[in-house]
Amino acid sequence: MASAPSAASSRFAHDDTPLAREISQLTRRRAALAEEKLALPATTRVFTVANQKGGVGKTTTTVNLAAAFARSGARVLVIDLDPQGNASTALGVEHRAETPSIYDVVVDESSMASVMQKSPEFDHLYCIPATIHLAGAEIELVSMVAREQRLATALTTLLQEADEPFHYVFIDCPPSLGLLTINAFVAATEVLIPIQCEYYALEGLSQLLNNVAMIGKHLNPRLTVSTILLTMFDSRTNLANQVADDVREHFPDKVLSTLIPRSVRISEAPSYGQTVISYDTNSAGSLSYREAAAEMARRGVPN
């Protein structure tokens, strides 16, 4: 007669379930992040987060990376350059039509300091909001002097006059390659491209890279594509894994090893006016963005 399984063997079998393995992995990741102290850059790193393809996670990436860096002690500024104002919503700052905003900076030459708000998310996290008025800025900028450099001029002034230095600036762009996005490219030193791990992921990417190269040649020689982040990754599908492999093959030195998963928590957070970093800091989505921030800090400024 077969003997009943021992308590130890039953516990081992239970611990070897997919859920138990996932919990164990999340625990290890949390412990690794808790032990790592992110080095602060010696000079301000200014990222434009861009991809003319919509729905790839630009705003989500912008606000969550910014929050991850702020959580680690960095002083971070998010510039919401998208008329939809979703980054402003996620960071919990006011952006009604009458709110002083980035529109006043690029069109009316207001100072960034006069429109900047502190986010309730974390200490040292700030946001320059976007309002609906920004939707008309593309047309208004056409006839203006130095139309491509208005954001860069205002940002340079802010960084020079700030009481405390900013370590990171993230500019959230609209899903287009118009004058607002060009202003963002001229103001930045690095471009971060989120790429969705789905079909057509690389569609239009060559056009974006050509535009970055053109801006670098004619308007901002310091600009470089430094970081590519794979988003909305679903490890259960062959397609997501194939897209990740294809992107890494094309851009081996630029793609972060960290993958951002599809996550209910990431999607829910903005409806509460929060990033996933503060909404559910121990969730898989939050850990992934914190790991991406740590990887970016370790890589440092590209040569």
Mean pLDDT per 10-residue run, the chain (303 residues)? Answer: 51 63 80 84 96 88 97 97 94 94 96 97 96 92 92 97 96 90 96 89 83 94 96 87 90 94 93 94 94 95 81
User: Is 31 within 8 Å of 255 (Cβ atoms)?
Assistant: no
44-93: pLDDT as tens digits: 999 999 998 888 889 999 999 999 999 999 999 999 999 999 999 999 99
**E strand or H helix at 144:** none
CA distances from 12 to 17, 28, 29, 67 (A): 9, 18, 22, 38
Q: What is the rounded average pLDDT for all residues in the chain?
A: 90
| Radius of gyration over every alpha carbon of the chain, rounded to an integer in angstroms | 21
pTM > 0.85: yes
pLDDT attached to residue 176:
83
Which tokens hold the place of 218? 């004619």
User: Is 223 within 8 Å of 82 (Cβ atoms)?
Assistant: no
Distance spanning both ends of the chain, measured CA to CA: 70
